[in-house]
Amino acid sequence: MNNKYSDRVAMKLNVRQLDNIIIALINNPFNKKFVGNVNQLFKILQPRSYENDGEKVLRVYVVRNITKLILENNFNDKSQVISSLTFDGKYASDANVLMESLKDTQINDGELSLLDKLISNQLKYKSLDENASELSELLGSFQAEDYDDMDSMIAEIENKISVMNKEMKSARESIDDTKKDMNLSSSSFINTLDRIIQEERNPASKVKTGIQYLNSMLNGGFEKGRLYLACGMAKGGKSAFLLECALWAKKYNSFITKDPEKTPVIVYLSMENTNEETVGRIWNYCFGDESELKTFDKAEAAAMLEKAGIFTPNNPKLPELQLWYRSNRSINAADIAGMLDDLEKQGKECVFLIVDYLARMKAVEFNKEQRLELSNVTNDLKTLASDYDIPVLSAHQLNREAFRQCELAETFEEKVKASSTLGVSQIGDSIDVVRNCDIAFIVNRIQNVMFGENENDPIIDRYLFIKLIASRMKMPKITSFQHRFKDGNGMALIDDINATKPYSTKTETELARSRIDGGQKTTGRRTIA
């Protein structure tokens, strides 16, 4: 908004409604919320929407004087207002006449309630006027073919509609400030405390992963209303990790939907890999690098995936996992909200949203500067998590410094050390990206090459290093660890959620022990780069 009347709203009140506002202010000066809303609204009225109507001009003048008097002096009584109210300037005489005619008038509670709602709604939807005007101009230019490039014009129209959708949704779902307040001496505090306790006790309140250490790092799992960010290097396993989180969600969680009639749905949205590519990855996750999908027919493959618990066509009690693909930079959070709303219409409810990945999304409010655009995207996703009360997981790329730091490491020990020193400063556009998420952690795939008795037959162990780097939540006991992938499978980490003790490790001693515990005892091996 760049005109001198930015954030202004049009006058939508008639003379009768304006008179009722004056009457309400005189008789209810103690209602500071109402007085404050009136004061706020009349400060941002668009002059050109009423300046040619003398009756409205006069009443705007009177209202502004009354609200200023009440708020500056903290008046709570009608007599205080009447006795102290004075006017000057060219409207003084007419204002006094108007006050004389209205000061003894009353309005009933019903009229006052409707008036309060009218003013509140105009404040809530204050951005609609200008957005509608700008959209109208854009559509006019489109219809008149007044543009150089149609694609750019359509993109501009889409962006404006997305902004309006976001603001309208936010306005619709906003609640009175009084409802956000809490008295710690009241029953509402106890009720809130009870809800938190019950939520914490509910095994379905958090989305668990297949790894004990990771669940501990996440304080039990992915939590509703939170935005999580997995940061890694290009080709460093970010997308594979996000997909594995989606599969874990389906395998190890029982979801309770807000509406018991709806089916819980885990949504994996990719703007990098097509659905065909993602299905291929799921196959590799389940059956490893050596089991090629092309060697099976579709019935055999479906049966294998059903046995693995991924394909569940005949069990409506289990959560659905939906794969969504959209092209790079084609959608924003408002578009995703529309897609989630469509799910609701189908009798389904999203319980976990995974977005692969951050930089491939558009912001609802576009910004040419990449740093600010990414900041807007993370803020949009955080709002999405809050609005739908679901955990949202996405990924972001580490910068070149992180890549160089890890590439220079030669031995496995050095690779672990290099990974452990990565932090917020290695995240691209770190401050603006991290500040809007609830938890950010680094994922980095590293490998250990070892020789046993046969020097020509090296054993390659692959690990995913995970480190917590930012959190708004309770700091967990475990903030970094490495976890081994299955042998012969670079997609699937070893699940230990049902094991008697974790398979994850934090030290070299524990690394060696983990191989013994896993039945793969190592003897006579030396570690090389």
Helix (H, G, I), strand (E, B) or coil at 335: helix
Contact 397, 359 (CB under 8 A): yes
Average pLDDT for residues 263-273, to the nearest whole number? 93
Q: Are strands 459-471 and 480-484 parallel, antiparallel or unpaired?
A: antiparallel
Single-letter code of the amino acid located at 497: I
Please give the share of the chain, as a percent, with pLDDT higher than 90.
21
Mean of the per-residue pLDDT values for the chain? Answer: 81
Q: How confident is the model over 53-96, as pLDDT tens digits? A: 989 999 899 999 999 888 888 888 888 888 888 888 888 899 89
Helix (H, G, I), strand (E, B) or coil at 467: strand
pLDDT attached to residue 420: 82
The count of other CB atoms within 10 Å of the CB of residue 4 is: 5
More confident residue, 511 or 128: 128
What is the token pair recorded at 48?
A: 């050109």
Q: Which residues of 365-387 are buried (b: 16+ CB within 10 A; e: fewer)?
A: bbeeeeeebbbbbbbbbbbbbeb
520: pLDDT strictly greater than 60: no
Average pLDDT for residues 391-395, to the nearest whole number? 95
pLDDT attached to residue 521: 37
Closest of 372, 287, 359 to residue 329, by C-alpha = 359
pLDDT attached to residue 252: 92
Peptide bond before 147: cis, by omega within 30 degrees of 0? no
pLDDT attached to residue 223: 94
Share of the chain residues as helix, strand and coil, in percent rounded to the nearest 5 = 50, 15, 35
Tallying the residues shown for the chain, one arrives at 529
Place of tokens 């950010």: 440
513: pLDDT strictly greater than 70: no
Q: How confident is the model over 217-266, as pLDDT tens digits? A: 999 999 999 999 999 888 778 899 999 999 999 999 988 888 888 899 99
174: pLDDT strictly greater than 80: no
- The C-alpha atoms of residue 418 and residue 445 are separated, in whole angstroms, by 12
Per-residue pLDDT band for 290 (boundaries 50, 70, 90) equals low
Single-letter code of the amino acid located at 458: P
Per-residue pLDDT band for 1 (boundaries 50, 70, 90) equals very low
* pTM score of the predicted model: 0.67
pLDDT attached to residue 524: 34
pLDDT attached to residue 148: 81
More confident residue, 429 or 55: 55
What is the token pair recorded at 418?
A: 């290099």
Per-residue pLDDT band for 130 (boundaries 50, 70, 90) equals low
The count of other CB atoms within 10 Å of the CB of residue 345 is: 7
- The C-alpha atoms of residue 378 and residue 359 are separated, in whole angstroms, by 10
Contact 358, 229 (CB under 8 A): yes
Q: How confident is the model over 299-321, as pLDDT tens digits? A: 888 888 888 888 888 776 778 99
Please give the share of the chain, as a percent, with pLDDT higher than 70.
85
510: pLDDT strictly greater than 50: no
